[in-house]
């Protein structure tokens, strides 16, 4: 299954307003795509692991489909699958620039991967 997820992640279309994407597996393996020079892959991969630690503690006993963390520079949106793989999107702090419909589609595609089908990004 991870090969399907990796393939989907590598082909996921970049959204207007997104500055980075991340993928984190339960074994703490992480991958990132970034379009912001200040956000290196190493920094983002470390951030995904730290955010997962926070979300596990903060949402204990809850079944949350999407989590959001807001910072001065933007927002991180994360969604987890039942197998523990989590997809992250980092957006700018200018909400008017974000393709909200595209974001919702991307998060839904990621969650739908559990069926084994690989959606093709537009």
Q: What is the pLDDT of residues 76-105, one digit of tens each?
A: 999 988 888 899 999 988 777 889 999 999
Q: What is the pLDDT of residues 53-82, one digit of tens each?
A: 876 655 555 556 788 888 888 899 999 888
pLDDT band for position 120 (50/70/90)?
A: very low
Q: Is the pTM of this model over 0.75?
A: yes
Beta-carbon contacts of residue 82 (< 8 Å; ≥ 6 apart): 114
Is residue 83 within 8 Å of 4, Cβ to Cβ? no
Report if residue 122 sits inside a domain.
no
Report if residue 80 sits inside a domain.
yes
Residue 90 has what DSSP assignment?
Answer: E
Other C-beta atoms lying within 10 Å of the C-beta of residue 92: 16
Q: Is the pLDDT of residue 117 over 70?
A: no
Range of the domain at 82: 2-115
Report if residue 72 sits inside a domain.
yes
Average pLDDT score over residue span 6-35: 90
Share of the chain above pLDDT 90, in %: 36
Report if residue 51 sits inside a domain.
yes
The vertex-96 CA angle with 102 and 9, nearest 5°, equals 30
What per-residue confidence (pLDDT) applies to 82? 82
Report if residue 121 sits inside a domain.
no
Is residue 77 within 8 Å of 88, Cβ to Cβ? yes
Is residue 121 within 8 Å of 33, Cβ to Cβ? no
Report if residue 19 sits inside a domain.
yes
Report if residue 57 sits inside a domain.
yes
Average pLDDT score over residue span 4-21: 88
How many domains are contained in the chain? Answer: 1
**Which CATH number does the domain housing residue 82 bear?**
3.30.450.30
- The mean predicted confidence, pLDDT, of the chain is 82
């Amino acid at each position: 299954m991870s090969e399907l997820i990796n393939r989907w992640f590598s082909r996921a279309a970049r959204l207007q307003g997104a500055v980075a994407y991340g993928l984190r597996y339960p074994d703490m393996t992480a991958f990132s795509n970034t379009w912001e020079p200040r956000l290196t892959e190493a920094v983002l991969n470390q951030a995904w692991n730290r955010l997962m630690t926070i979300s596990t503690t903060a949402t204990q006993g809850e079944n949350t489909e999407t989590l959001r963390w807001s910072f001065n520079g933007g927002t991180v949106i994360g969604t987890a699958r039942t197998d523990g793989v989590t997809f992250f999107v980092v957006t700018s702090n200018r909400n008017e620039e974000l393709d909200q419909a595209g974001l919702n589609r991307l998060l839904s595609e990621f969650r739908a991967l559990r069926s084994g089908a690989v959606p093709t990004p537009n």
